[in-house]
Structure 1
Amino acid sequence: MAERNLGTKQRLESRSLGVAMWGNLFMALAGLVAGVLSNSNAILMDGLFSLIGFGSALLARRITGRINAGPDKARPLGYAADEAIFSTFRALSLLGLLLFAVTNAIRNIYNYIAGMTPEPLNFAPMIFYFTIIALTCAVLWAFHYFTWRRTGKASAILRLEAKAALFDGVITVAAGAGLAAIYYFRDGPLAPIAPVGDSVIVLMLCLLAIGSYVREFRGGLGELAGASANPAYVATARRALRPSISEDGGILRDMSVTKLGRTFLVMVYYDPGRPVSAADIDTLNLRMIRDARQALEGADVYLVITQYPRRWPEELNPYGSD
């Protein structure tokens, strides 16, 4: 039953990423063509976002096919890290695009202040572009979001794709509203900035978005560095393992929880307080894994039999004192 559920989740995730791949390719081509026809940097930036989305969805489909493969000779700890690596560098690529767009917008504004007049915008293609792309982003967001919910809210890849589709849609709507305002008020209150209104919109949208992708990047780096998971996850794991520890009668010396992609690694430092066999430890470890997975999907438990917590006492510390 568990294997069948896992296969269903993988199929749903793969289907969602396939929709993301072709949807982003369509938006990328539309953005590049509309950007050239309209002389709009905002639309070109939108198209480049979608092009990155196409490449990331293509890569993500490969990654999700093996995330749950488990440990093997090549990867003794399994393939869970691939999801964290993907999410981190996806956020980094988007940050790079944002910084490029900000630099280009600032350069255009500076050139305008210095006396260089940019090419005028062609507003005719924009109406069709913004309408079609906004609807496409809404469909992609809904598809990813509801697939993420159906698969147990465990996939960081689907969560990031849904977030990217939502942000792309927000950018599209905001850019369309800003360019519409410039069109209607280019001879009125917005006349001073109308020639570079496109660059002003790009600059504002990028500055608003940078914080979100910085948080995604830092979160991915934290997972790759093995940082402790959110305290709420630690508390959940502790509650889940309390019954098995209580029944066994030993002492919990320490516990750590780290998150890597959609998996949680729970390290339990446990003192049985009595002689135990390897079979006893295996039985206890397997029960802990089952209990942990009831509370944290994808959790794994490493049971360490020891009389010490995660850090050796200073008099025994093989790494030396600080």
Structure 2
Amino acid sequence: MDKKVIERKALMVSIVMNLINGLAGILIYIVTDLNALLLDGVFTLIAFVSSIAALFISKNSHRTTENFPNGMYFLEPLYGILKSIATLMLLVITLLETSATAYAYFVHHDGQPMVTGPVLPYTIIMVISCFGLAYYNKRQNCKINGLSTMLEAESRGNYIDGLISAGVGVAIIALSLVDINGPFGFFHYTGDFFITFFLVVFSLKEPISVLSQSFKEFARSTVQNDEIHDKINDIFRDILHTQADKLDILIFKQGMHIKVKIYILKPEDSQLIERLVLQKNHLLDKLTQEFDHCSLEFSF
């Protein structure tokens, strides 16, 4: 199956699931007024909107225009960058809001106990749904050799969403064991802050990682993916045999597009240059079979 088709199918599944999960999260937030659930619900709705954008990008990034004759593959890492920034902003804003609530209680003794009635069953369903969707997107990306920056961002976003839901559920169970009139009764009033704080701390790593990876792709850094390196090196060894060791193979990835640039370590080796020229179409065919969207350049 075409790699773009696999990517689009996965994004369609993400759109449907993120919409359902996001609306459920907002509904439970309205009932409970817990900011941790607002974080959960809005995070999922951001994922829903970004999945629609990702589907549009998936359908159009390979198209060429007068201004972009090599395609618009830069849109794919740009998507990862913007989604990561939106995720980080949401985490920080939610933490600041819950911090204000905790401050009001500890300083002014102003606050209401948390309403947790429907939270636990909601979090159980969300954990199963989000982790399941994260696994699905990761598996689909593995089918296409991990080429999709957008499925990578989706998978990690789903994982964070599931982690947020799991954290809320564990915190609610722990809170049920605390006596509201006991020495730790303040958790019933400020628990939302502590839950959100730990969720933000444990969730920060994923969007920062995606941001770093997407920025490297956007800036056309060399590929860090060992699997892509190995597959491309194997193709050159299969065709050129020991002469492949005389080449410096640089691999660049921008979205689904792979660019392979070959430098000859000994430019005076005319026999190798001649063979490369003769085998260029064969090499490009093999690369295209593996990666769909691929270009090959020689530097003598």
Give the Cα–Cα distance (whole angstroms) in 2 for the partners of residues 259 and 36 of structure 1.
43
Query: CA offset at residue 185 of structure 1?
Result: 0.9
Give the Cα–Cα distance (whole angstroms) in 1 for the partners of residues 145 and 246 of structure 2.
33
C-alpha spacing 1:189/1:180, structure 2 compared with 1 (3 Å): farther
Aligned-residue sequence identity (percent) comes to 20
Confirm or deny that 1:288 pairs with 2:295.
Answer: no
Query: CA offset at residue 280 of structure 1?
Result: 7.7
The residue that corresponds to 1:27 in the other structure is 21
C-alpha spacing 1:190/1:259, structure 2 compared with 1 (3 Å): farther
Give the Cα–Cα distance (whole angstroms) in 2 for the partners of residues 264 and 33 of structure 1.
43
C-alpha spacing 1:236/1:13, structure 2 compared with 1 (3 Å): closer
Give the Cα–Cα distance (whole angstroms) in 1 for the partners of residues 176 and 79 of structure 2.
40
For structure 2, the 5+ residue unaligned runs are: none
The residue that corresponds to 2:42 in the other structure is 48
For structure 1, the 5+ residue unaligned runs are: 307-322
Give the Cα–Cα distance (whole angstroms) in 2 for the partners of residues 74 and 159 of structure 1.
28
Does structure 1 conserve the Cα–Cα contact (< 8 Å) formed by 2:95 and 2:196?
Answer: yes
Confirm or deny that 1:221 pairs with 2:215.
Answer: yes
Q: Deviations over 1:10-52 (max 9, x none)?
A: 3333232122112212222221221121121111110110110
Confirm or deny that 1:258 pairs with 2:252.
Answer: yes
Give the Cα–Cα distance (whole angstroms) in 1 for the partners of residues 88 and 100 of structure 2.
18
Confirm or deny that 1:83 pairs with 2:76.
Answer: yes
Query: CA offset at residue 210 of structure 1?
Result: 0.8
Higher RCO by CA contacts (8 Å cutoff, separation 6 or greater): 2
The residue that corresponds to 1:60 in the other structure is 54
Does structure 1 conserve the Cα–Cα contact (< 8 Å) formed by 2:236 and 2:244?
Answer: no
C-alpha spacing 1:99/1:66, structure 2 compared with 1 (3 Å): same
Does structure 1 conserve the Cα–Cα contact (< 8 Å) formed by 2:249 and 2:261?
Answer: yes
C-alpha spacing 1:251/1:147, structure 2 compared with 1 (3 Å): closer
Query: CA offset at residue 238 of structure 1?
Result: 4.2
Confirm or deny that 1:302 pairs with 2:297.
Answer: yes
Among 62, 85, 92, the alignment partner of 1:99 is 92
> Which sits farther off after the overlay, 166-175 or 198-207?
166-175
Q: Which amino acid aligns with 1:190?
A: F
- Pairwise mapping of residues 145-294 of structure 1 onto structure 2 (< 5 A)? 145-187=138-180, 188=182, 190-230=184-224, 232=226, 233-234=228-229, 237-242=232-237, 244-245=239-240, 252=247, 254-270=248-264, 271=267, 273-274=269-270, 283-293=278-288
Query: CA offset at residue 165 of structure 1?
Result: 1.6
Task: Report the TM-score, using the length of structure 2 for normalisation.
Answer: 0.85
The residue that corresponds to 1:125 in the other structure is 118
Q: Deviations over 1:125-173 (max 9, x none)?
A: 3234223323332442343233334444332222321222222112102
Q: Which amino acid aligns with 1:163?
A: R
Query: CA offset at residue 239 of structure 1?
Result: 4.7
Structure showing greater radius of gyration is: 1
Query: CA offset at residue 177 of structure 1?
Result: 1.3
The residue that corresponds to 2:9 in the other structure is 15
Please report the RMSD computed on the Cα atoms of aligned residues, expressed in angstroms. 3.0
Q: Which amino acid aligns with 1:83?
A: E
Give the Cα–Cα distance (whole angstroms) in 1 for the partners of residues 66 and 215 of structure 2.
25
Q: Which amino acid aligns with 1:153?
A: G
Q: Deviations over 1:33-80 (max 9, x none)?
A: 2112112111111011011011101101111112344x4433122222
C-alpha spacing 1:287/1:247, structure 2 compared with 1 (3 Å): farther
The residue that corresponds to 1:136 in the other structure is 129
Give the Cα–Cα distance (whole angstroms) in 2 for the partners of residues 42 and 249 of structure 1.
55
Does structure 1 conserve the Cα–Cα contact (< 8 Å) formed by 2:114 and 2:188?
Answer: no
C-alpha spacing 1:246/1:31, structure 2 compared with 1 (3 Å): closer
> Which sits farther off after the overlay, 230-239 or 149-158?
230-239
Query: CA offset at residue 214 of structure 1?
Result: 0.9
Give the Cα–Cα distance (whole angstroms) in 2 for the partners of residues 150 and 43 of structure 1.
34
